[in-house]
Amino acid sequence: MMFLWRSLVCLLLAVCFVGGGNTAQAQYSNGIPVLLYHHVSDDKTELPELTVTTAEFERQMALLHGAGFSTISPSQLNAYMEEKTVSLPAKPILITFDDGYDDNYFNAFPVLKRFGFSSVIFMVGVNIDREKRLSSQQIREMSDAGIFFGSHSETHRNMTTLSAGELRHEVKTIKRKLEAITQRDTELFSYPYGYYNISAWEAVELAGYKGSVTVLPGLNKPDRDNQFLLRRIPIYNDTDFNALFLLLDQNQPKTKLLQYSPVLKKIG
């Protein structure tokens, strides 16, 4: 009887453990989403398609926050993609920005702070301290406040057209600059225009990055997706974020997310 009772307790514990594990895992069983923004501004004179108003950005962040999404760091994403042991929140997400516009500091940063969200901002080396782009001082302040910075190359050229020497320059110079400003490791790289090939990928990996992001749509999952070809979901001015949000919240399979954005617009 005692033996039976013990067996039953063991069985129950096993069921609870496995069941609980599955429930937690199921939250992102189809992979982790990475969103891509450019401008967050009420001024739509520059790249209107890639500009989300501040109010709309705030609404989108509020939806994610209200549904229990938590932003994770590049290190957490990299560890997950490498199938290492890593502690992740139930609903992990990455919010990224390409090109490093100063509206990311003035408009997006206060909203992110309000919701306790982090993000990754991909900078172009030659644009640091330029007009309408983030300054070294702004980068330092945001980095100290928990925003991560990644490389978006040194000069924002199409990497598929560059020589091996040019590729080395594009990936290394910006990494050195960002690490000098933030005093933190720059782990992620974003291919300009989303253009990549094997040489670009190799240059990025050899420079010591742990991963790189593209504009291939969908979610990221180890055993299926490549850490140096990470998928992102671009958010345009006319994105139906409510429809996307439902897919994200239910962590729908990649196929559904692919249906969501069939037409890929030109990315800066």
The CB-of-156 to Zn ion minimum distance in angstroms stands at: 6
The CB-of-191 to Zn ion minimum distance in angstroms stands at: 9
Residue written as token pair 């920005």: 97
Q: What SS3 state is found at 212?
A: strand
Q: Where are the beta strands (DSSP E) in the chain?
A: 34-37, 39-40, 51-52, 70-71, 92-98, 120-123, 148-151, 188-190, 211-213, 233-234
Cα 100 from Cα 2, distance rounded (Å): 66
Stretch in the footprint of Zn ion (CB under 5 A) among 62-70, 90-98, 101-109, 141-149: 90-98
If one asks whether residue 222 binds Zn ion (CB under 5 A), the answer comes out as no
Stretch in the footprint of Zn ion (CB under 5 A) among 74-82, 94-102, 221-229, 237-245: 94-102
What single string gives the DSSP state of each residue in 129-153?
A: TSTTB--HHHHHHHHHTT-EEEE--
Q: Residue 127 or 227: which CB sits closer to Zn ion? A: 127
The CB-of-266 to Zn ion minimum distance in angstroms stands at: 11
Do the beta carbons of residue 204 and residue 175 sit within 8 Å? no
Residue of the chain from 99, 170, 187, 225 that contacts Zn ion (CB under 5 A): 99
Stretch in the footprint of Zn ion (CB under 5 A) among 95-103, 176-184, 228-236, 252-260: 95-103
The type of residue at 107 is: N
For the window 249-268, what string marks contact with Zn ion as x by the rule CB under 5 A?
Answer: -------------------x
The CB-of-32 to Zn ion minimum distance in angstroms stands at: 22
If one asks whether residue 146 binds Zn ion (CB under 5 A), the answer comes out as no
If one asks whether residue 98 binds Zn ion (CB under 5 A), the answer comes out as yes
Question: What is the size of the binding site for Zn ion (CB under 5 A)?
Answer: 4
CB within 8 Å of 257: residues ≥ 6 apart = 33, 217, 218, 219, 233, 247
Q: Residue 33 or 194: which CB sits closer to Zn ion? A: 194
Cα 232 from Cα 33, distance rounded (Å): 7
How would you label 163-195 residue by residue, b for 16+ Cβ within 10 Å and e otherwise?
Answer: eeeebebbbbbbbebbeebbeeebbbbbbbbbe
Do the beta carbons of residue 259 and residue 215 sit within 8 Å? no
The CB-of-153 to Zn ion minimum distance in angstroms stands at: 8
Q: Residue 98 or 225: which CB sits closer to Zn ion? A: 98
The CB-of-98 to Zn ion minimum distance in angstroms stands at: 4
Q: Residue 159 or 247: which CB sits closer to Zn ion? A: 159
Of residues 188, 235, 236, the one with CA closest to residue 213: 188
For the window 160-199, what string marks contact with Zn ion as x by the rule CB under 5 A?
Answer: --------------------------------x-------
The CB-of-233 to Zn ion minimum distance in angstroms stands at: 16
**By the criterion CB under 5 A, which residues form the site for Zn ion?**
98-99, 192, 268
